[in-house]
Amino acid sequence: MKVAWAGSRETLELSDRMAKLVANDPVFEKFTRPMLGRKELFKNTLRKAAHGWKLIVDLRLTEEEAKWLRLYIDEPAYTDLHWGMFIPAIEGQGTEEQKKKWLPLAQKMKIIGCYAQTELGHGSNVQGLETTATFDPQADEFVIHSPTLTSSKWWPGGLGKASTHALVYARLIVGGEFHGVHGFIVQLRSLEDHSPLPGITVGDIGLKFGNGAYNTMDNGVLRFDHVRIPRNQMLMRVSQVTKEGKYMQSDVPRQLIYGTMVYVRQTIVVDASKALSRAVCIATRYSAVRRQFGSRNGGPETQVIDYKTQQSRLFPLLASAYAFRFVGEWLKWLYMDVKQRLEANDFSTLPEAHACTAGLKSLTTTATADGIEECRKLCGGHGYLVSSGLPELFAVYIPACTYEGDNVVLLLQVARFIVKTVSELGYKQPVGTTAYMGRVATLMQNNCAVRTAEDWLNPGAIVEAFEARAARMAVACGRQLAKFENPEEGFAELASDLVEASVAHCQLIVVSKFIEKLQQDIPGKGVKQSLEILCYVYALFLLHKHQGDFLAVGYLTPKQALLANDQLRTLYSKVRPNAIALVDSFNYTDHYLGSILGRYDGNVYPKLYEAAWEDPLNDSDVADGFHQYVQPILKQKLHSAKL
Ligand SMILES: CCCCCCCCCCC/C=C/C(=O)SCCNC(=O)CCNC(=O)[C@H](O)C(C)(C)COP(=O)(O)OP(=O)(O)OC[C@H]1O[C@@H](n2cnc3c(N)ncnc32)[C@H](O)[C@@H]1OP(=O)(O)O
Ligand SMILES: Cc1cc2nc3c(=O)[nH]c(=O)nc-3n(C[C@H](O)[C@H](O)[C@H](O)COP(=O)(O)OP(=O)(O)OC[C@H]3O[C@@H](n4cnc5c(N)ncnc54)[C@H](O)[C@@H]3O)c2cc1C
């Protein structure tokens, strides 16, 4: 199962080596992180990033090894944006000449870059950005300017203190004409002493949610006062500005300017499976350690993992972690395919790649953020202790629902794609993830054939149920939209229904990709069988949770919905014997997990007890402040009889 989770034996071995390298290095200690003040915390992150880079250079780590190393260091840092967005943006939007100039500098870390798109007043609406880049043909330069307070760049990670350069998204103005938003490489700080260059105001935006957590990152604010950059620092793969001041659009679609977001959204789906699997690993191991009630004749109490309620909350999350892992693997393949096509100037699959990355980013991050919080509750009171690892994991994870596109805004993008597909059904055969809509007539007509709980253990029945629900919801939205004279008005009015239809479509993708995964050769005794059980748990859990949809569209009867729930209960009993093995298969070191409750050896209580004494409040028996603030109250002579 470890191999199935990792994707291949090579990846398992490689990631295992990197995990151990990090776990055994004292520089990467992270237990005290939530207690550090901001300055100390940030300096410590810089130290870890520097040490990580030294290891990468000294040990001549490959790009793949370096990625795993950074993952296991497990601390958001400017390097995430440098490697995760700045470099990919140049790769995707730069010309060959630009890549030749900038990539070696960035890859050797001679410069540090961030991705500066969002502004104080504008995030989701990229076309609404206010920063301007005005071409000056005399000087052959662009003038980058922040005309208003709301145009201040706000949020970019790594911008506040670390970056020397930024990829700045600004409205292009050539010859007095606006040409939409484009990306520009702008130097922010001196490469000698790191001080901000003239015309640049830059700093950190302040503390964020939670202790430690994302506060290791210097999310920044940036303003430009007529900063000049050479013309060739506009990324010019999509469109060009000539020396003479002519704006030229190539054959490449304008949307490619948003390409870096597509790339990162794809990585976020795999990251969701990592974050959720960590939380699930902690909650599952602890649920086997924790006992409550049910002692007979003085024997041990019941392990909480044996309660059906615990199982019905925990096992769907375990199944979701696996589901997200496999859909992430598929999405990575889809992205690589699109990337190759784009290089050959084939843009036909870009809309689907955008819809899939947007929708799956939204679906998986929402479920993961909610899932981490559920895991905290599954661990009872101890889950609230920072040493459980869950509060920090939650705090560090939840912005994933917002960054790289607010999850609702992204689902509305999926809705546009679905509505367009439905409207074209008469004359265009849908392909890829919308191929099922080509069978819309059958899906609207046929109803579920399930008669017994066992009938639900059938991939065909499950996929058809999810297809029928998604198709019927999409068609219903299409019919409602057709009643509006102005389509944009209709879209705005029906936005909530459209979001629900998008969720149904995205859930269908995850369920189908899990089922497709099981059609592959999966070596290892019992591995495929265990994954099949998890796949049914995932699908039937969703069906149960959203049974209102399936019933409302008239595909299921209430009886069939009840049978699905009966089957789900049986499946939980089948997951239980392997639950610990299924989370051990994530192969997480205790260092990466960062949780006393989730320790591999299960030695929870002695270690919790030990850790309590390490709290700074326990440095002395009598607290600092006692004599000043508590003792006077204790010694106070009160005159009022009432008191
Ligand atoms: C190892 C890897 C480590 C990775 C480490 C990274 C860790 C993450 C750290 C977090 C960092 C966070 C960074 C950020 O948050 S960066 C800022 C992200 N910002 C956003 O995501 C903004 C969201 N908004 C948008 O994307 C767009 O503005 C929006 C799509 C919502 C609307 O854009 P616009 O108004 O221009 O578009 P329309 O709705 O009118 O659509 C026009 C057509 O374009 C299509 N479209 C839109 N986006 C894309 C795209 N990305 N790709 C392809 N096509 C796209 C859209 O569907 C329309 O098509 P049609 O005309 O055919 O309908
Ligand atoms: C931790 C963190 C790191 C970040 N890192 C970066 C970075 O490195 N670089 C960068 O450029 N940016 C970064 N961002 C910014 C991030 O990309 C934006 O915050 C994000 O795109 C959401 O935009 P917003 O803040 O404008 O939200 P808003 O759009 O203001 O959202 C507010 C509310 O309005 C709703 N809403 C907005 N538009 C619509 C609509 N059309 N229909 C219905 N509802 C709508 C949303 O659903 C939400 O509920 C980061 C943000 C965070 C939190």
User: What is the spatial distance between Cα 221 and Cα 156, in angstroms, rounded to a whole number?
Assistant: 8
Report which protein residue has its CA nearest ligand 1's atom 16.
Answer: 404
- DSSP H or E segment with residue 47: helix 38-58
Q: What is the pLDDT of residues 355-395, one digit of tens each?
A: 999 999 999 999 999 999 999 999 999 999 999 999 999 99
Contact between residue 3 and residue 525 where contact means Cβ atoms under 8 Å apart: no
CA angle 231/235/239 to nearest 5° reads: 90
What is the pTM (predicted TM-score) of this model?
0.97
With H, G, I as helix, E, B as strand and everything else as coil, classify residue 165: strand
With 0-12 / 13-18 / 19 or more C-beta atoms within 10 angstroms meaning exposed / middle / buried, residue 94 is buried
Atom of ligand 1 nearest to the CA of 413: 57
User: What is the spatial distance between Cα 223 and Cα 210, in angstroms, rounded to a whole number?
Assistant: 27
Atom of ligand 1 nearest to the CA of 258: 51
Contact between residue 391 and residue 210 where contact means Cβ atoms under 8 Å apart: yes
User: What is the per-residue pLDDT for 442?
Assistant: 96
Report which protein residue has its CA nearest ligand 2's atom 41.
Answer: 409
User: What is the per-residue pLDDT for 642?
Assistant: 67
Active site residue 130: no
Q: No. of H helices and E strands in the chain?
A: 23, 13
* Ligand 2 binding pocket includes 152 (Cβ within 6 Å): no
Domain residue spans of the chain: 2-75, 113-251, 260-428+455-582
Q: What is the pLDDT of residues 250-278, one digit of tens each?
A: 888 888 899 999 999 999 999 999 999 99
In single-letter form, the type of residue at position 169 comes to Y
Q: What is the DSSP string of 307-332?
A: SHHHHHHHHHHHHHHHHHHHHHHHHH
Nearest to 513 by CA among 283, 267, 332, 260: 332
In single-letter form, the type of residue at position 611 comes to A
User: What is the spatial distance between Cα 107 and Cα 104, in angstroms, rounded to a whole number?
Assistant: 5
User: What is the per-residue pLDDT for 344?
Assistant: 87
Q: What separation in Å is there between the alpha carbon of 412 and the centre of ligand 2?
A: 14
User: What is the spatial distance between Cα 277 and Cα 158, in angstroms, rounded to a whole number?
Assistant: 27
In single-letter form, the type of residue at position 87 comes to I
Spell out, as residue ranges, where the chain has pLDDT lower than 50: none
Query: In CATH, what class is 113-251?
Result: mainly beta
Q: What separation in Å is there between the alpha carbon of 123 and the centre of ligand 2?
A: 5
What does the mean pLDDT of the chain come to? 97
Catalytic residue among 404, 464, 467, 500: 404
Q: What is the pLDDT of residues 5-56, one digit of tens each?
A: 999 999 999 999 999 999 999 999 998 898 999 999 999 999 999 999 999 9
User: What is the per-residue pLDDT for 252?
Assistant: 84
User: What is the per-residue pLDDT for 643?
Assistant: 61
* Ligand 2 binding pocket includes 126 (Cβ within 6 Å): no
Q: What is the DSSP string of 54-112?
A: HHHHHTT--HHHHHHHHHHH----HHHHIIIIIHHHHHHHS-HHHHHHHHHHHHTTSS-
In b/e form, how buried is each residue of 517-550, taking b as 16+ CB within 10 angstroms? beeeebeeeebbebbbbbbbbbbbbbbbebbebb
Q: What separation in Å is there between the alpha carbon of 265 and the centre of ligand 1?
A: 9
User: What is the per-residue pLDDT for 32?
Assistant: 87
Mutate to test the pocket of ligand 1, among 86, 401, 404 (most ligand atoms within 8 A of CB): 404
Residues with CB under 6 A from ligand 1: 67, 80, 84, 115, 117-118, 124-127, 157, 255, 258, 261-262, 264, 267, 350-351, 354, 403-405, 409, 413, 416
CATH topology for the 260-428+455-582 domain: Butyryl-CoA Dehydrogenase, subunit A; domain 3 (1.20.140)
Q: What separation in Å is there between the alpha carbon of 399 and the centre of ligand 2?
A: 10
Q: What separation in Å is there between the alpha carbon of 260 and the centre of ligand 1?
A: 9
CATH topology for the 2-75 domain: Butyryl-Coa Dehydrogenase, subunit A; domain 1 (1.10.540)
- DSSP H or E segment with residue 132: strand 132-136
